[in-house]
Amino acid sequence: MSLLIDDLQNIDVATATKMLLGWQIISTINGQRISGRIVETEGYHQDDSASHSFKHRTPRTEVMFGPAGHAYVYFTYGMHYCLNVVTGPEGRGEAVLIRAIEPIEGIDSMKKNRKKADLTTLTNGPAKLCQALSINTALTKHDLRKKPLLLIPDVLQKGESIVQTTRIGISQAKDALLRFYVKDSQFVSKYSDEKSK
DNA sequence: CCGGTGATGCCCT
DNA sequence: GGGCATCACCGGT
């Protein structure tokens, strides 16, 4: 069992995507301590037509080709940020989109940041969790071993199981089974009703 | 509960 | 200029 961020560079993207479930994210941005555990992820890589790194090694996506354990944050739909964890060896354009977390600490701060009060919809989407944790593109290329945004290896709890299925919100490579989530978690994004076993 | 849609700006062609 | 790894809101059911 691997419990180091450094191990993310030695495994294939599907394995990394699955392994990140249960890991903790701790934000101390703006002096607010906010944390949660990852319950939903999606993998992307350079041979995958849905990936930003597919045929595009540009200033924006360069971080995906860099060392594992750094953040790739992108801006989309004119108003939303999404957080990825870079994985794989240097030179390979791979990253894991964090699609949902289960809130742990700083729930009041999250509610303020989100301007919403309902616990189960606070962080159940990639842009929602960035808003809750005050993550924006200033954090791209950030080393997730350091404050103010920490990624802490952890494992799932006893009895928890993982579902593997197709990714959400993409028009390319729809059949790739690169989405993973914690079965029965009430904190995964709302389109999590696939019947994959 | 569900599907449809507008918001809004950056990146790449 | 087209498309986007999204979200919240609206109206019908």
How much is the average pLDDT of A43-72? Answer: 97
pLDDT digits (tens, 9 = 90+) for A63-74: 999 999 999 999
Is the shortest CB-to-strand distance from A151 to strand C under 7 Å? no
Residue whose CA lies closest to nucleotide B6 C1': A77
In tens, the pLDDT along A13-30 reads 999 999 999 999 999 999
Within 7 Å: CB of A75 and strand B? Answer: yes
pLDDT for the residue numbered A191: 60
Which chain C nucleotides are covered by protein, judged by CB under 7 A? 3-8
From the CA of A94, how many Å to the C1' of C7?
26
Burial A127-138 (b: 16+ CB within 10 A, else e): bbbbbbbbbeee
A140 pLDDT more than 60: yes
**Is A59's CB less than 7 Å from nucleic acid strand B?**
yes
pLDDT digits (tens, 9 = 90+) for A145-181: 999 999 999 999 999 999 999 999 999 999 999 999 9
A114 touches strand B (CB under 7 A): no
Distance in angstroms, CA of A77 to C1' of C3?
10
Whether the CB of A174 is less than 7 Å away from nucleic strand B comes out as: no
| Rounded distance in angstroms from the CA atom of residue A150 to the C1' atom of nucleotide B3 | 38
Give the pLDDT score at A174: 93
CA dist list (Å): A158 to A22, A24, A39, A155, A182: 11, 16, 14, 9, 12
SS (H, E, C) A147-161: CCEEEECCCCCCCCC
% of chain A residues with pLDDT over 70: 95
Nucleotides of B under 7 A from a protein CB: 7-13
Residue A3 pLDDT greater than 90, yes or no: no
Q: Label residues A84-100 b or e (16+ Cβ within 10 Å = b).
A: bbbbbeeebbbbbbbbb
Pair A43, A96: CB distance under 8 Å: yes
Whether the per-residue pLDDT at A193 is higher than 80: the answer is no
Return mean pLDDT, chain A: 95
A58 touches strand B (CB under 7 A): yes
Greater model confidence, A192 or A162: A162
pLDDT of residue A9 exceeding 50, the answer is yes
Residues A14 and A124: their CA atoms lie apart, in Å, by 21
Give the nucleotide at minimum CA-to-C1' distance from A130. Answer: C6
**CB A42 under 7 Å to nucleic chain C:** yes
Residue A196: its pLDDT value, please?
37
pLDDT for the residue A197: 30
